[in-house]
Amino acid sequence: MSDTVIQVENLGKKYIIGHQQQERYTALRDVIANGAKSLGQRLLKPWGKQSANPAYEEFWALKDVSFEVKQGDRIGIIGRNGAGKSTLLKILSRITEPTTGRIRIKGRVASLLEVGTGFHAELTGRENIYLNGAILGMSKAEIKRKFDEIVDFAGIEKFLDTPVKRYSSGMYVRLAFAVAAHLEPEILVVDEVLAVGDAQFQQKCLGKMEEVGKEGRTVLFVSHNMAAIEKLCQHTILLHLGNIRYIGNQNEAITQYLTSFSNHLVSMRDRPDRQGSGEVRVVAIETRDEKGNILSAVKSGHSLDIYLHFEVQPHVKISRVIAGVAVKTQLEVPVFLQHNRLTQDEFGQLPPKGAFVCHINRLPLPAATYQITYSLMRDSMYLDKIVNAFQLSVVEGNFFAYNEVPPITQGVCLVNAKWRIDTSIP
């Protein structure tokens, strides 16, 4: 007997998008005139091709998607916003029907796609546990056997007999995930709803999904948290504009996700806000990983190279250049400054063109978008400088072995430290 539990063949989902026409005041005579004009066109061309309605267009959220999932697989699904991840999960959960293709699913599916999915707002937490279990096809005895474990995991015992409409979004998610994970579905489908919970609960959820997979059940997990994907998933599907771009090893999928889908070289040639004498000018900036792949984002805790591509003015000989980058938050809070005088790296006489490369080992920044200012100096004079020259996007990564990364609201830098107890102090 085959161990394939999900088989997707040539899946497609089409939506009709309406474009709102600019509204204006319409008099009764305009309505009558337009109606008469439309009727006249139908009478004159009863079988003629009617003009297309410009107010609507087709949009394929998914197209020609095919893959198989084996029993016990933990599959990550990643991609940029609008790639089709949530649409795919809704089809797999039978919430919406596909436009083309077909799906075969073997086993009971439990889905957690958004806060409060499958809950009745007027019912209590206790009643919703039994309701969700019944929806999953479980008997009352089965639900009762898991009941205490669900309540303990969710941590909402005090509010168990309160209608869930009075729950906070965090309480909603805790109970919803606890129900979905503990009622023993063969297939667990989880969208990016865990971001609502706190860091401690997210760790509990990841641990539970890992446990579910080890028990031989299947997990499909959509997330923008690359550390969670890397830790939890065995294989990963990368979606891009509704198509599968890659299926396979999660590390390769994450690398392709972080690698720009187009050349992410940021040109500086036409920037009017530069300062300095101009003997040397930075003409483009890009970021690369240690393998040389151009990045559109970098994972927290991973190393990267910042390339400052430069050109020297004709017939200019110049040396002793200090190249630096300054990193700030979007709120203009300084994070760090790095230049080659700090590292005692000398460039010598510059070639006519090339690139200053700043290698940052284990990027110590939490997930956020940062502003990068560069400068080229010689003898305390600016040769070239642009403030907020480009943006560096950092996504969550495995900086600490525990996988928890404090948010930027707790500090702009991550510190690699160790703790110990010293009993030698008198």
CATH class of 59-258: alpha beta
For residue 196 the two structure tokens come to 């609502």
pLDDT given for residue 53 in this prediction: 53
pLDDT given for residue 401 in this prediction: 66
Q: Could you tell me the fold of the domain covering 266-410?
A: Coagulation Factor XIII; Chain A, domain 1 (2.70.50)
Note whether 59-258 and 266-410 share their fold. no
C-alpha to C-alpha distance for 35 and 39, rounded to whole angstroms: 6
What does the domain layout of the chain look like in residue ranges? 59-258, 266-410
Segment-wise mean pLDDT, segments of 10 residues, the chain, 426 residues = 82 79 60 69 59 68 91 88 87 88 87 70 88 79 87 86 85 81 81 66 77 83 81 87 89 78 76 92 92 86 91 92 91 89 90 92 88 92 93 83 70 74 65
